[in-house]
Amino acid sequence: MDGFGAPRRHYRVTNSTNECARELAAAGVPGGTIVTATEQTAGRGRRGRRWSAPAGKALLLSAILSPLSAEHVLLPLAVPIAVCEAVESLAPLECRVKWPNDVWVEERKLAGVLIEAQPPDWAVIGIGLNVSIEPDEFPTDLRQPATSVGHGVSTEGALEAVCSALARWVEAPADRVVAEFEARDALRGREISWIGAGGQEGDSSGVADGIDERGNLVVVSDQGKRLSLGSGEVTLTLDRAAREDPAIE
Ligand code: BTN
């Protein structure tokens, strides 16, 4: 595969670029193909949530990675790292990754990632990056506050930077991805709670302590156990921290 960006299919309005990209991937288009849109009517977020953005003010990108191999095991971490690097190449911002794959700037969500995959054939890497959304244009009922890149950056400029960073990070060796994640880890040392698998009854809160080699979140539970939480299995809340810092969900 030779980078991301060509061929490109752009829609002025579509339901979801991920949906379009999935159809293209299933039809066998080459890896590196991207789908973008000015506006989505049914943008998808993680865990069945909706993703919405005012027309033309966010980068709405779905990139097809094909084939998908065991070497891509850390793809969910590599993608937000690529977004961080792209954004920092465009604007004086410091980006962090909130496991598994949100991008945060100063405790606010800048970008979200939704990866849908059919191994070993393909993965659709969906990225929603707020580029020029004004604070009063975000929905008031967001689970956590959001922010934009700003600084006069355009969605096309963001697209170019993200595609180029993505090409590098998607193929990066696992040790580099883990090291970079650790440098950008927004949760390490913070008190978190979770719902779902990842421990026995009663193990549902603790302190985040980085990631393991498979990209699971490592936590030390309040009972003193060291646990690995898989992103497909748990829902995190930062509720205890949120009591002290209302800026987080
Ligand atoms: C999340 O934070 O929940 C993930 C949001 C991912 C949104 C992007 S926008 C482009 C692509 N198309 C979609 O329908 N979703 C992703």
Q: Who lines ligand 1 at CB under 6 A?
A: 16-18, 40, 43-46, 49, 51, 60-62, 102, 112-114, 126-128
pLDDT above 50 for 241? no
Instruction: Work out the angle at residue 106's Cα, subtended by the Cα atoms of residues 105 and 111, and round it to the nearest 5 degrees.
Output: 25
Residue to mutate, 16, 51, 52, 231, ligand 1, most ligand atoms under 8 Å from C-beta: 51
Q: What percentage of residues in the chain have a pLDDT greater than 70?
A: 91
Which atom of ligand 1 is nearest the CA belonging to 44? 14
**Which own/partner contact pairs does 51-54 have at CB distance under 8 Å and 24+ positions apart?**
51/112, 51/114, 51/128, 52/139, 53/128, 53/130, 53/133, 54/133, 54/137
Under 8 Å between Cβ of 39 and 55: yes
Backbone torsions φ then ψ of 92, nearest 5 degrees: -75, 70
Residue to mutate, 13, 18, 79, 162, ligand 1, most ligand atoms under 8 Å from C-beta: 18
Question: Where residue 233 falls among pLDDT bands split at 50, 70, 90?
Answer: low
Question: Where residue 236 falls among pLDDT bands split at 50, 70, 90?
Answer: confident
Q: Report how far ligand 1's centroid is from the alpha carbon of 128 (Å).
A: 5
End-to-end CA distance of the chain: 38
Helix (H) / strand (E) element for 85: namely: helix 75-90
> What pLDDT, in 10s, does the model give residues 55-107?
999 999 999 999 999 999 999 999 999 999 999 999 999 999 999 999 999 99
Under 8 Å between Cβ of 82 and 115: no
Under 8 Å between Cβ of 174 and 74: yes
d(CA 239, CA 159): 34
d(CA 225, CA 198): 11
> Whose Cα sits closest to atom 9 in ligand 1?
128
> What pLDDT, in 10s, does the model give residues 131-172?
999 999 998 777 678 999 999 999 999 999 999 999 999 999
d(CA 102, CA 128): 10
Which atom of ligand 1 is nearest the CA belonging to 15? 14
Instruction: Considering only residues 9 and 206, tell me which one the structure prediction assigns the higher pLDDT.
Output: 9
Interhelix angle 174-184/75-90, nearest 10 degrees: 60
Residue 203 carries which DSSP code? -
pLDDT above 80 for 230? yes
pTM comes to 0.92
Structure tokens at 58: 């966010």
DSSP string for residues in 130-167: ESS--GGGS-TT-SS-B----TT--HHHHHHHHHHHHH
